[in-house]
Amino acid sequence: MFISRFTYTALNITTPHMSGFEAARRIRNCLPDCAIVILSSRDEQFIAQARKAGANGYVAKSDAAHALVQAIQSTIKGEEFFVVN
């Protein structure tokens, strides 16, 4: 099986076929060095689940315009980025 090497991925929690949490777990298993940022319309409700799923970052969609680029840059460097309103 061929798997591309991604530097980062940004995931929505709610998707049609699989939750963002499940996708994060699967990505973390296959690509342990990939930075994973989860986006949510809920501010801090799912941060603990995001961490448990292996995410390096969590950004509320209400902050996405300001925080997403910063989250990606931070997590690529190996830092965590969890925004709480």
32-65 pLDDT, tens per residue? 999 999 998 876 778 999 999 999 999 988 887 7
Q: How far apart are CA 63 and CA 27, in angstroms?
A: 24
Q: Are strands 81-82 and 35-40 parallel, antiparallel or unpaired?
A: unpaired
Q: What pLDDT band is residue 66 in, cutting at 50, 70 and 90?
A: confident
Domains and CATH numbers, the chain: 8-82 (3.40.50.2300)
* CB neighbours of residue 48 within 10 Å: 11
pTM for the full model?
0.84
